[in-house]
Chain A
Amino acid sequence: AQKITQTQPGMFVQEKEAVTLDCTYDTSDPSYGLFWYKQPSSGEMIFLIYQGSYDQQNATEGRYSLNFQKARKSANLVISASQLGDSAMYFCAMRPYNTGGFKTIFGAGTRLFVKA
């Protein structure tokens, strides 16, 4: 069965510091994609970053990077130099490419609070 686990319901970080949001996943599919989304209070879902299971390097997009540890089945999101606008809900998601109906499943989310 496919599963995404985000164990941190809420996180606080001081402005300008880095923060890591945890995500672990479970799949038997050797080929899959991992995604992170941001959902601010406005409700829109914003795609942040993608990591493919066969990618050799960790994905980076500006201040976002994905700490991909395949053997541990973890895909933690690292936000560097936090800004007040980073306060939002963050969702980790996975999409298996060969099994599980190929549909994307989401974790329960982590609410990030950035303090001034």
Chain B
Amino acid sequence: GAGVSQSPSNKVTEKGKDVELRCDPISGHTALYWYRQSLGQGLEFLIYFQGNSAPDKSGLPSDRFSAERTGGSVSTLTIQRTQQEDSAVYLCASSTSQGAGFFGQGTRLTVV
């Protein structure tokens, strides 16, 4: 597609449930990032994929968070046993190896 696509755009889930967030990057972009942004705050780095290299998971806040990138393209961020503090906007970005990241519209996650 022309841009980074994220789905769903909004997700409301009950505490304790698992959620999956999807990111479809720009075709040909080798790098893919997940960030989290709480209301009025900056971007919190979660995980980074670059080509076939092992992902940089250093930003994942707990073992309830995981992500995969299949075939070097689509990525899924999974949050298990969601907690209220997981409520945030989850942003995905993709880029070439050295270029600027282009962001999707984000998924607004609300845990009730």
Interface residue range, chain A: 20 to 34
Q: Mark A72-116, 1 if CB is under 8 A from B, else 0.
A: 000000000000000000010101010001111111110000000
A33 interface hit (Cβ, 8 Å) = yes
Give chain A residues whose Cβ lies under 8 Å from the Cβ of B102: 47
Give chain B residues whose Cβ lies under 8 Å from the Cβ of A43: 89, 105-106
Q: Are A108 and B103 in touch, CB under 8 angstroms?
A: no
B72 interface hit (Cβ, 8 Å) = no
Q: Are A91 and B43 in touch, CB under 8 angstroms?
A: yes
Q: Are B105 and A35 in touch, CB under 8 angstroms?
A: no
Give chain B residues whose Cβ lies under 8 Å from the Cβ of A103: 33, 45, 48, 56
A103, closest chain B residue (CB): B48
Query: 8 Å CB contacts to B: which residues of A30-49?
Result: 33, 35, 37, 43-45, 47
Give chain A residues whose Cβ lies under 8 Å from the Cβ of B101: 35, 47, 93, 104
Q: Are A101 and B48 in touch, CB under 8 angstroms?
A: yes
Question: Complex: how many Å from CA A107 to CA B35?
Answer: 13
Q: Are A44 and B103 in touch, CB under 8 angstroms?
A: yes
Q: Are B58 and A101 in touch, CB under 8 angstroms?
A: yes
Question: Complex: how many Å from CA A105 to CA B99?
Answer: 13
Question: Complex: how many Å from CA A35 to CA B105?
Answer: 19
Which of A33, A102, A107 interacts with B100 by CB under 8 Å? A33
A residues with CB within 8 A of B:
33, 35, 37, 43-45, 47, 50, 91, 93, 95, 97, 101-109
B residues with CB within 8 A of A:
31, 33, 35, 41-43, 45, 48, 50, 56, 58, 89, 91, 93, 95, 97-103, 105-106
